[in-house]
Amino acid sequence: MRIIVGLLLALSTWIVVPLAPAGADDATVARVEEHAKPRVVRYSVRVRGDIGRRTKREFRTLAQETYDDPRGWSGKGPGIRFEQVKRGGAFTLWLSRARLVPTFSSNCSAQWSCRVGRNVIINLDRWRGASPAWRKAGLALRGYQHMVVNHETGHWLGHGHASCPRPGALAPVMMQQSKGTGGCRFNPWPTPAELRRR
């Protein structure tokens, strides 16, 4: 009986995404995508260093808000639904003291956030104070928080860094906007082009 229940649970996690017929017009594709089920990704939240319970609780809540926002990776079409679990999951979202970010990998810096394997690491200094470029642009901290969670999670989803497509365009969320936008407009959310590649 346990084996049967286990198999049923495993099968229930498979996602069948209907495909529009070849040559379908945009309206047909949109209707098919609207009825497609999202891919469910489970993740857990941990901290590294002395963060404090209240900060961890707020981080958990705000990160989930980012993941649930229809402007993010869960957006239009089949999308992705992120579900927070107590432990395990497909990846771990970390809030780390800045000095401890390099303990995840020598490729990580105490100045920025990072992604290493299944670890999506948000730098506490950036989480609390954004980056110099973001602040200089006079933008809200909450926008930066959305951007950094979307950016580092985007790496976990398999996206590399992007560049500004043209001056005045929205910056791709996979651009290193913490360091500047090269003439693009700051943007916390995946662009339509990025969502098509998710």
pLDDT at 11 exceeding the cut of 70? no
- Please tell me the predicted confidence (pLDDT) of residue 23: 54
Q: Where are the domains of the chain?
A: 40-193
- Please tell me the predicted confidence (pLDDT) of residue 26: 52
- Please tell me the predicted confidence (pLDDT) of residue 32: 47
Q: What average pLDDT does range 138-164 have in this prediction?
A: 97
> What confidence tens digit (pLDDT) does each residue in 23-82 have?
555 554 444 444 567 789 999 999 999 999 999 999 999 999 999 999 999 986 677 999
3-state helix, strand, coil in the chain (%, to 5): 40, 15, 45
The string of DSSP codes covering 129-190 is: H--HHHHHTT--HHHHHHHHHHHHHHHHTT------SSTTSBPPTTS-GGG--TTSBP-SS-
Q: What average pLDDT does range 74-98 have in this prediction?
A: 92
State the pLDDT confidence band at 6, using cuts at 50, 70 and 90.
very low
Architecture of 40-193 per CATH? 3-Layer(aba) Sandwich (3.40)
pLDDT at 7 exceeding the cut of 80? no
Q: Please give the mean pLDDT across all residues of the chain.
A: 86
pTM of the entire structure? 0.81
Percentage, residues of the chain above pLDDT 70: 80
C-alpha radius of gyration, the chain, whole number: 18
- Please tell me the predicted confidence (pLDDT) of residue 38: 79
pLDDT at 97 exceeding the cut of 90? yes
- Please tell me the predicted confidence (pLDDT) of residue 25: 54
